[in-house]
Amino acid sequence: MAVHGEHRELVIIAANSQAASGGGSLTTRLIVILTLCAAVIIGLGVLVDYRLSRDDILERLQQESRETVRAVVIDIENWLDGVESSTLLLARVLEQRHYSEEGLVQMLRDAIEVNADIYGATIAVVPSQPGVERGFAPYFFRDDGALDYADLADPRYNYQRQAWFLDAVSAGEPLWVEPYFDDGGGRVLMTTYAVPVFRRDAGGERFLYAVVTADVPLAELHDYLQRLRLGDSGFGILLSRSGTVLSDRNSANIMRNFQDTLIQEQDQQSWQEMFEAALQGQVVARQLTCTGVPGRCVIRLGALESTGWPVGVVYSEDEMLAPLREFALKTALAGTLTLLLMAIAVAIVTRRLTRPLTELALASDRIAQGDLDAPLPAASGNDEVARLVHSFAGMKQDLKAYIEDLEVATARRSRLEGELGAARDIQMGMLPQGGEASERDEAFSLWARVLPARSVGGDLYSYFLRGRQLFFAVGDVSDKGIPAALFMARAISLIQQLAATATDPGEAMAALNDPLTSNNDNCMFLTVFLGILDLDRLELRFASAGHTAPSLVRGAEVMSLEQETGPALGLSPDLSFPVNVIQLQPGDRLAVYTDGFDEAFNEREEMFGVDRFNAALLAGRGLPVAAAGSDLFTRLAAHVGNSPQSDDITLLLLDIGDRDSGASQSAREFTRGPQLTGRVEAWLRQELGQHPVPEQTLGELILVAEEIVSNVDKYAGLAADATITVMAIAERGEVGIEVRDCGLAFNPLDQSGLTELGAATKNAVIGGLGLHLITALTDRQNYRRENGCNILRVTKLLEQPRE
Amino acid sequence: MQLSTTLDVDKQNSVARVALVGALNTDTAPGFEKRLFEVLEGGHQLTVLDMKDLDYISSAGLRVIFKAAKQAKASGRRIAAANRKPHIDKVFEILKALPDMAVFANEQELDDYLDAMQRRSRGEES
C-alpha cells in the first residue's frame, strides 16, 4: 500500500509540474505567440530588404559583365586599330614615294620590327608593271621572337593567286580577309588586313601598284578572347564576317563555320538570326541551350567596329546570379539568427514576467492542500501580477483567520457537547437504573426507558416498591432540551421524595404540584401519570395531570384506559386531582408512555398515533416485557424513518402476575488474575445451567462472556486486584449477562472501531475480533456508563414459538 | 477448560497434523500459540489443525490461528482446518475468518486432498 501511495503522489506531482510548465500554460502560449509574431515581422522585413537589394545587385552584376565585355572588345579594337593604322601608313608612304626593291624590304622590315602588334607583313607588288613582271613580294614574320623572311613571289607560293591578294585587288580598298592557313608564308592560322596601294602614272592615270598586308594570327585573337571570362563556364566567341569561328572555348572549332559547331539543330536558326543582326551592327542577346554551361545559358553577340566581326560572350546566368543567391542565403541566415535571438529574448522576458504567476499557481495548490503557510512569490511594483499576489496574500490571511476561528468555534462546540454528554449522564443517573430500567418481583415485571430528543430531555419515569405497594410514575415536561431537563430534575427529585410516603395518588399529585408552581416564572409545566398498585389485590389507583391515557393489554385485547385527568402541574397552586381506580388481573400488561411516542411523525408527516401504538403493543404481547419494550421502540423507529426525533420518548411497561415466573438473576465479583475467564465460564455454566437453556445457546453466551471479560481485563486499565462484576440473567424467553467494570470509559457497541472482516489472510488485521462475536452471537446489547463504571448487558432470546 | 494438543508428522507428504482437544480460549491461547509456532518452525508444507475434539474457540484462539496462517502464507506454506464442529464453524463464519484457508469437513476430504497433493508432486517429478 505504501508503494501504491507513493507512486500516486509522484504521479500527482508530475501532473502538477506539467500543468505549471506544460503545453497549456500561459508562459508557453505567450512565448509561442510572440515568437510567431516576431517571425512574421522579421520575415517580411527580410523579404522587402531582399527585393530592394536584389535589383541593385542585378544592376551591378549586369554592369560588371558589360564592363568586362567592353574591356576585352576595346583591347581587341585597339590592337586591330593599331594593325590597321600601321598598314595604312605604310600604304600611304608607298603611294607617295618610290623605293628600290632593297628599300622596300628595308622599310617592311623596319615597320614590323617597330610594330609588335603585327605578326607578319608583306608588300606584294602587282606584277604587271615594268621591271616586276615576275612579281615581287617580300614577307617578314615573327617566329619565336626572331624575324623570319619569306619570298612570297616564289612560284610555289605564288601570291598572285592567294585570296588575300585577289580580294584586295578586286575590292580596291582596305579589307580584312577571311582567316586562312598561310602555307608557305607565316605558316599559322591567321587573318590579314590587306590594303591596295594605288599610284598615278605620268598621265595621271590611277593604277594599282601593290597590296600591303599585315597579319594577325588567330591564336593571338583567341588569347584575347579567352581573357573574356564571365563566371566559371562563360567564354568569348569571335566569328568572321562569313561565319568562320575565330575563337571559341573549344579550339577545335576554330576555322569551322559556326553552323557546323552547333549540335542542336533547332539552335541554328536562332544563331543565324543573331549572326546576321550582329553583322548589321546590332547587339543581340538570346537564351539558348549550350553544352558545358550549367543552368540558363545566355549568348550576347555584337560586332567589332573595325573588322565588323561578330564578337560575343556565352555565359551561365545562374553563375552570374550566384552572388545574388549568396546574398539571399546570407539574408535568410541573418533573418533566422535574428529570429532565434528574438525567440530567446521573448522566452526569457516572458518567463521572468510570468514566474510570479507560476509560483502563485504552485502556492495555491499547496494552500488548497491545507498548507496555509506556503510562501507566496515576492511581488514588487504595482503591476497586475503584483496586485494579484497581494490580493492572494490577503485571501490566504483571511482563510487562515477563518480556519482559526472555525477551530475555536469547533473546540467550543465540542466542549459544549462534552458538557451536554456529562449532563445527560447526570440526568440519566437521576432515573432508576440510568434511563433503562428492569425490575422484577414474583407479582410484577417492570421495564422502562427514556429516549431524549436531544442530549438531555424533559421526560422521566420512576418507581418504588414499598411493601406490597408499587409506586410508579411517568412524566413529560413541556418543551425539551436544557430548560426542560432542569425542570425535570426538580420534578424527579420531588417524585422520588413522595414515592416513599405517598398512599393516595391524587394527594401525591397535589403535593407535587405546589412546589413546582412556586418560583416557576417561566411557566414550565409537567404532565404526570402517577399510579400506586396494590400487589396483593392487583388494584391500581392512579391520577393523571393532563397525561396521555395508559394502554392495557388483557388477553388478546388492547385498550386505552378511560381516565379522569386534572390539569398539568406547575401552572397554578392548590389543585386537586381525581383518582381513577382499575382492577388488574394476572397476565395484564400496562403501558404508560409520553406523547413523544404517539405524536412521532414520519417523513410523510404521519403521526404514529395511539392506534398504531396499541396495535404494536398487542403484537408484542407474547414477548417478555423488556423484549416487548425494545420491540415497540424498534417499530416506532421503523415508522419515523429518517425524520429527526422531535420530542423525548418514554415508555413504561408493567406486567402483572406470574408472566415472568422463573426469572432470576445473580451476580458475582471476579478478581483479576490467572484463569479469570475460566472462573467466569465455570460460574456462568453453573448459574445458567439451572435454567432450561440449550447447550449451544449456553456455549455461545459463555463465549461472549469470555470475549467481554477478556476485553475488559486487557483494555479497561484496571488495577491488578480490581474486580469485574458479572451478572447472569435468566428470564422467561431470554438469557443474558451483564458485565460491570469501573475502568476506562469504553462503549464496545460503537461500531466505528470495529475491525474489517473477510480480508484475505495476507491483509487481515489480527485482533479486535471479539467485538464482532459479541454483537453477532447475542440478540440485544445495551451499554451504559453509570457512576464511573461501564455496564454492558447482552441478551440472547431463547427459541420460543410466538402466540 | 484445558487444551491439549498432539502432533503427528507425515514426513513423506510434508504434512503436520495438530489435533486440538478441549478449549482454545483466552487462558489456553498463549500456550497453544507457542506450540503451534514450534510446529511451523518444522517447515512443513501443510499444517492441518484437527478440530475434531475442540469444544470451544474464542477470538483469542482465532487470533493465534490468524497469526499463524499469515506467517505460513508469507513463507509459501499453508494452514488448514479440519473437522470443525458446527459451533466452532459458526465462530469462523461470524468473523469471516481466513476466507482463503483450506477447510476439510471430515477425514475423507483431508485424505482426498493429501492424495491429490501426492499425485501432483509425483506428476511434477516424472
pLDDT at residue A17, rounded to an integer:
43
The answer to whether residues A306 and A78 touch, using CB atoms and an 8 Å cutoff, is: no
Q: What mean pLDDT is predicted for residues A17-46?
A: 76
B94/A776 CB distance under 8 A: yes
Q: How many helices (H) and strands (E) does chain B have?
A: 4, 5
Amino acid, res. A734: E
Nearest residue of chain A to residue B62 (CA atoms): A769
DSSP code, position A716: S
Q: How far apart are CA A578 and CA A145, in angstroms?
A: 173
**Would the pLDDT of A145 be above 70?**
yes
Smallest Cα–Cα separation from A309: which of A73, A115, A121?
A: A73
A762/B73 CB distance under 8 A: yes
Q: What mean pLDDT is predicted for residues A238-267?
A: 81
**Would the pLDDT of B124 be above 70?**
no
pLDDT at residue A157, rounded to an integer:
82
Q: How far apart are CA A724 and CA B49, in angstroms?
A: 34
- CB contact A675 to B (< 8 Å): yes
DSSP-assigned letters across all residues of A693-708: --HHHHHHHHHHHHHH
The answer to whether residues A466 and A500 touch, using CB atoms and an 8 Å cutoff, is: yes
Nearest by CB to residue B87, choosing from A699, A766, A767, is A699
pLDDT digits (tens, 9 = 90+) for A193-202: 999 998 887 7
Q: How far is CA A201 from the centre of its chain?
A: 116
Q: What mean pLDDT is predicted for residues A537-541?
A: 91
Where does the pLDDT of residue B126 fall: very low under 50, low under 70, confident under 90, or very high at 90 and above?
very low
Query: Phi and psi at residue A566, in whole multiples of 5°?
Result: -100, 180
Q: Between A and B, how many CB-CB pairs are < 8 A?
A: 77
In whole angstroms, how far apart are CA A567 and each of A506, A518, A574? 12, 16, 11
Nearest by CB to residue A706, choosing from B58, B90, B96, is B58
B99/A758 CB distance under 8 A: yes
DSSP-assigned letters across all residues of A409-448: HHHHHHHHHHHHHHHHHHHHHHSGGGGEEEEE-SSEEEEE
Determine which helix (DSSP H) or strand (DSSP E) holds B49, and give its type and residue range: strand B46-57
B96/A696 CB distance under 8 A: no
pLDDT at residue A448, rounded to an integer:
94
A681/B97 CB distance under 8 A: no
Chain B residues lying within 8 Å of A773, measured CB to CB: 58-59, 91, 94-95
Helices A26-96 and A218-226: angle between axes, nearest 10 degrees: 160
- Exposure pattern of A393-412 as b/e (b: 16+ CB <10 Å)? eeebeeeeeeeeeeeeeeee
What is the CB neighbour count within 10 angstroms for residue A673? 10
Chain B residues lying within 8 Å of A770, measured CB to CB: 58-60
B100/A760 CB distance under 8 A: yes
Q: H-type helices in A562-608, by residue range? A: 595-598
**Would the pLDDT of A15 be above 60?**
no
- CB contact A767 to B (< 8 Å): yes
Helices B59-74 and B86-94: angle between axes, nearest 10 degrees: 70
Residues making up chain A, counted from first to last: 803
B62/A769 CB distance under 8 A: yes
Backbone Cα Rg of chain B: 14
A677/B26 CB distance under 8 A: yes
**Would the pLDDT of A4 be above 60?**
no
Q: What mean pLDDT is predicted for residues A374-392?
A: 81
DSSP code, position A465: E
Which of A18-22, A73-77, A231-235, A779-783 is predicted with the least confidence, judged by mean pLDDT?
A18-22
**How distant is the Cα of A677 from the closest Cα of chain B, in angstroms?**
7
pLDDT digits (tens, 9 = 90+) for A86-120: 899 989 988 888 888 888 888 888 888 888 888 88
Q: What mean pLDDT is predicted for residues A267-279?
A: 85
Helices A384-430 and A481-499: angle between axes, nearest 10 degrees: 10
**Would the pLDDT of A5 be above 70?**
no
Where does the pLDDT of residue A577 fall: very low under 50, low under 70, confident under 90, or very high at 90 and above?
very high
**Would the pLDDT of A640 be above 80?**
yes
Burial of A542: CB neighbours in 10 Å, binned 0-12, 13-18, 19+: buried
Where does the pLDDT of residue A529 fall: very low under 50, low under 70, confident under 90, or very high at 90 and above?
very high
Mean pLDDT over each residue of chain A, to the nearest integer: 84
Chain A residues lying within 8 Å of B25, measured CB to CB: 677-678, 681, 706
Q: Where in A419-563 does DSSP place strands (E)? A: 436-440, 444-451, 459-466, 469-477, 526-534, 539-545, 551-554, 557-560
**Would the pLDDT of A14 be above 50?**
no
pLDDT digits (tens, 9 = 90+) for A588-597: 899 999 988 8
DSSP code, position A468: T
Where does the pLDDT of residue A788 fall: very low under 50, low under 70, confident under 90, or very high at 90 and above?
confident
pLDDT at residue A552, rounded to an integer:
94
pLDDT at residue B98, rounded to an integer:
62
Chain B residues lying within 8 Å of A767, measured CB to CB: 63
Q: How many CA atoms lie within 13 A of A784 on its CB side?
A: 19
DSSP code, position A527: E
**Reduced to 3 states, what is the DSSP secondary structure of residue A285?**
strand
pLDDT at residue A315, rounded to an integer:
83
Where does the pLDDT of residue A417 fall: very low under 50, low under 70, confident under 90, or very high at 90 and above?
confident
Which of A359-363, A461-465, A520-524, B17-21 is predicted with the least confidence, judged by mean pLDDT?
A520-524
Interface of B with A (CB under 8 A): 1, 25-27, 56, 58-60, 62-63, 66-67, 69-70, 73-74, 87, 90-91, 94-101
- B-interface mutation test, from A675, A680, A685, A706, most B Cβ less than 10 A away: A706
- CB contact A760 to B (< 8 Å): yes
pLDDT at residue A802, rounded to an integer:
41
Chain B residues lying within 8 Å of A699, measured CB to CB: 56, 87
**Would the pLDDT of A524 be above 80?**
yes
**Reduced to 3 states, what is the DSSP secondary structure of residue A299?**
strand
**Among A142-151, A445-454, A725-734, B114-123, which range has the highest average pLDDT?**
A445-454
- CB contact A764 to B (< 8 Å): yes
**Would the pLDDT of A421 be above 70?**
yes
Which of A368-377, A511-520, B22-31 is predicted with the least confidence, judged by mean pLDDT?
A368-377
Q: How far apart are CA A791 and CA A35, in angstroms?
A: 79
DSSP code, position A480: -
